Amino acid sequence: MKTDLKTFDDALERLGILDYKDRIWNSNSRGELFHLQDYFYMARCSGLGGSFREWFEIIIKDAEDNWDRPESIFQHMGTIYDDHLDRYVKNTVDASREA
């Protein structure tokens, strides 16, 4: 597995979402690009493999159905990813304590 991510495309390719590049890049109406670093972080940390795309698209669909400005979802993915990861770890630890 390729471990170094040199470009934004590398990160998106690893996550299986390269076709979302333009939507991610243009999601901030003020032109700030700080959220792009979140995709490098998720690519380095993701243990979801092929299921990352499935998770990603579920989050997008929820935003499209429920948010006033769903196109901004892409700049919040890092926070959402962390929240989901934190809940997964907590649930795993709780389950192991109950066993």
The model's pTM: 0.79
pLDDT in tens, 32-90: 788 889 999 898 887 655 688 999 999 999 999 999 999 999 999 999 999 988 887 88
End-to-end CA distance of the chain: 34
Task: Please tell me the total number of residues recorded for the chain in this structure.
Answer: 99
Q: At what angle do helices 51-66 and 77-98 cross, to 10 degrees?
A: 120
pLDDT in tens, 58-71: 999 999 999 999 99
Domain residue ranges of the chain, discontinuous segments joined by +: 8-98
Q: Torsion angle of alpha carbons 17, 25, 79, 85, nearest 10°?
A: 10
